[in-house]
Structure 1
């Protein structure tokens, strides 16, 4: 059964949803970006329903300043109090719980890493966000995709007759094309010691609980993670899905639910 509830976090009232179930291992879902707790096209709500129908309670919430929650939106880097408060109220709302596993996609996965230690028993980290800058910001030089993504994209276009016709007709933005191609020959800039990539690396190395990394291999964010964190990929269990869907939309949602249930059961 699905219940709506609220809980306090540093003076703000946050909105949450509990999908109740009889199991003793629960799933906490942390939303990524500025996404509300139902997710894009209700994808997270559907995921919660699938997990609960399999017998596991699921708790999801809107962090401060998002959706139905009060407060100021400080982004994922300031969400530690929100996550900690959500864990505490999840335990109170479902007192039979003995274990809580958390799932986060994109910067929610990064938040679960950066805000450790948290009172959690395991993590599902999907397409972790590792870019220092957000492309949505107005900058002269937005973040380029990783070299592996650029190569895959142009190789696919070279195999597509329609793309070649557009090139011959002059319908291709050559400035953008040259910028992308030039990136292939450039060595990656060294990461700042206190930058996001270094902090993610340190968090992965110091994990105090089991984790599983879930990657949609056609997604730009996942490709950046695969390129920049090869050591983590050899150390932490990884599940890969050949899909470009960053949010595991459509049929990919069933794959995501199955991977989570394999660890919860």
Structure 2
């Protein structure tokens, strides 16, 4: 495996990208979320790219406009279509053997791919999609219930409750919210569902069981969607050993077709 660093054009600016080479005809386009650079938190995405390329599949990562080494203005995930399209075109040029591209995004990168109906990708792996329209919004009842269920499994949390180490007023408010009915899907979630419905390739949606973003997503999504796969005890960045294995296994399954 060789890691190449390159630049490519997007609109009126230049973006930075990285290619982990491999001979496979299926490739992974790794889309970063938020203000995250292409290497990922603690180089997690760079490490993932190395493992996937070692398995025989080329991986292309990039910084979208206004992030990391790329020029331009970061206008957010809702306006990142041009960035993703430009990266996909650069990927196909620098790895011309590719016949099939799997798009992968975590958090709002997954949301961007869903809103854009996958753009020109052939398959999608969508991780912990972002469905929150207001960062100040309270978590839905489903997420609150999941949080308390996790705490009740933890002997330390039970000990804190019995010893008076828990704010009972805050606990009471949380229990009231947890007892409410299921929340209605957000407008963003509805837009994402409509966008994904227009994509006709294979789709897998990965949700981390201990991640609040994933819990909010599942509260806004069709509970009967068989494309959703859950990993208990996993955090948002898939940094736990079993979570890393889960993510890599699912990516490789989709890459193999």
Separation of aligned partners in 2, 1:212 and 1:189: 24
Separation of aligned partners in 1, 2:154 and 2:46: 37
Q: Give the drift of 1:250.
A: 3.6
Does 2:37 match 1:47?
A: no
Q: State the SS of the aligned residue for 1:130.
A: coil
Whether the 8 Å contact between 2:141 and 2:177 is mirrored in structure 1 is: yes
Match of 2:234 in 1: 244
Q: State the SS of the aligned residue for 1:172.
A: coil
CA displacement, residues 206-245 of structure 1 (integer Å, 9 cap, x when unaligned): 32322111111221122222222125623xx233211231
Whether the 8 Å contact between 2:36 and 2:67 is mirrored in structure 1 is: yes
Whether the 8 Å contact between 1:2 and 1:20 is mirrored in structure 2 is: yes
Match of 2:193 in 1: 201
Whether the 8 Å contact between 1:43 and 1:253 is mirrored in structure 2 is: no
Q: TM-score, normalised by structure 2?
A: 0.90
Q: TM-score, normalised by structure 1?
A: 0.88
Separation of aligned partners in 1, 2:92 and 2:246: 27
Q: Give the drift of 1:191.
A: 4.9
Change in CA separation of 1:130 and 1:50 when aligned onto 2, cut-off 3 Å: same
Aligned length: 254
Superposed CA RMSD in Å reads: 2.0
Whether the 8 Å contact between 1:113 and 1:204 is mirrored in structure 2 is: yes
Separation of aligned partners in 2, 1:206 and 1:174: 47
Separation of aligned partners in 2, 1:119 and 1:156: 39
Whether the 8 Å contact between 1:149 and 1:220 is mirrored in structure 2 is: yes
CA displacement, residues 182-211 of structure 1 (integer Å, 9 cap, x when unaligned): 21233455456xx21220121233323221
- Superposition map of 1:173-212 within 5 A: 173-188=167-182, 190-191=184-185, 195-212=187-204
CA displacement, residues 23-67 of structure 1 (integer Å, 9 cap, x when unaligned): 111100001121110111111111100110111110000001111
* Structure 2 unaligned residues grouped into runs of 5+: none
Q: State the SS of the aligned residue for 2:225.
A: helix
